Amino acid sequence: MSLSGKVGLVTGGAQGIGRAVVESLLNSSVKVAVVDLNQEVGNECQVQLDAKYGEGNCTFIQCDITDGDKLKDAFQRTVDLYGRLDYVVNNAGINNENDWEKTIQVNLTSVIKGTYLALDHMSKEHGKSGGVVINVSSMAAFLHSPHQPVYTATKHGVIGFTRAIADASLLGDYGVRINVLCPAFVNTPLLHSVENEANMGKFVKFKDDFKQSMNKFGVLQPPLIAEGVMRLITDSGLNGAVMKITCSKGIHFHTYEPPSA
């Protein structure tokens, strides 16, 4: 399936999982907007990607996604620059149990806003040609840790929101498939912040529990997560899917029992 001519937007795309997703999209000839808070890492990312994929194929947009107006502008700039929008990956996330309200804003509220903005630009309801949204949750939504209670709550929230809005998209004939991705531990700067007391607050004392879990379940590399994202983009049968990626089972899907009366 050729993705050439399509346009993607990835939040938190300057490093870690987001950066791997951006590179997979560029490898598939998708033009990409890299939306990220970090100016320095974003500038570096732009230089490296221009050198590797050629100028004009991606653009770094500095943006704090918790600022609704700025996020809206980032979407508009992408469409103004590339003429359309087909894929949105709401990936940016933090783990700050000290400033837990910020964690909710970044990990959940901004994912909801990013999904609604994606629908504004892609839904058939608005005369657009459809697309795919991928919201990044975590295996933390299935295997909770005492080390990160609010982070865990946000990742549960992302799954619930995504499944419900995916049903709305199907029933409303929006032409947009909306799926959620739940990686286990991934080797990124975020994972290395596990011992950072400024972020983890009083829960830092439970870091050994977290580290034991990492040793038990292993640590994935970002390119495998990007492979999962590309599958969610290209498999036209997937809507409301909850993709899990773990060391033991690789890329697989969560199944829910149908509710009984």
Ligand X SMILES: NC(=O)C1=CN([C@@H]2O[C@H](COP(=O)(O)OP(=O)(O)OC[C@H]3O[C@@H](n4cnc5c(N)ncnc54)[C@H](O)[C@@H]3O)[C@@H](O)[C@H]2O)C=CC1
Query: Could you list the residues that contact ligand LZSIJSXV (CB under 6 A)?
Result: 95, 138-140, 143, 145, 148, 184-185, 190-191, 193-194, 213, 217, 246-249
The DSSP annotation for 128-156 comes to ---EEEEEE--GGGTS--TT-HHHHHHHH
The site partner of 157 among ligand LZSIJSXV, ligand X, none (C-beta below 5 to 8 Å per kind) is none
Q: Which partner from the list ligand LZSIJSXV, ligand X, none does 143 bind, CB cut-off 5 to 8 Å by kind?
A: ligand LZSIJSXV
User: Which of 53, 82, 151, 174 is the catalytic position?
Assistant: 151
36 binds, among ligand LZSIJSXV, ligand X, none (CB under 5 to 8 A by kind): ligand X
Q: Give me the least distance between CB of 199 and ligand LZSIJSXV, in Å please.
A: 7
Closest by Cα among 53, 76, 50 to 61: 76
Q: Which does 37 bind (CB under 5 to 8 A by kind): ligand X, ligand LZSIJSXV, none?
A: ligand X
16 or 240: CB nearest ligand X: 16
How far apart CA 215 and CA 161 sit, in angstroms, is: 31
Give the shortest CB-117-to-ligand X separation in angstroms. 14
Rounded to whole angstroms, the Cα distance separating 50 from 46 reads 6
The residue among 174 and 203 lying less far from ligand LZSIJSXV, judged by its C-beta, is 203
Whether residue 256 lies in the annotated active site: no
The pair of three-digit structure tokens given for residue 200, joined into one six-digit string: 């983890």
Q: Classify residue 236 as exposed, middle or buried by CB count within 10 Å of its CB (0-12, 13-18, 19+).
A: exposed
CA distance 203 to 250: 30
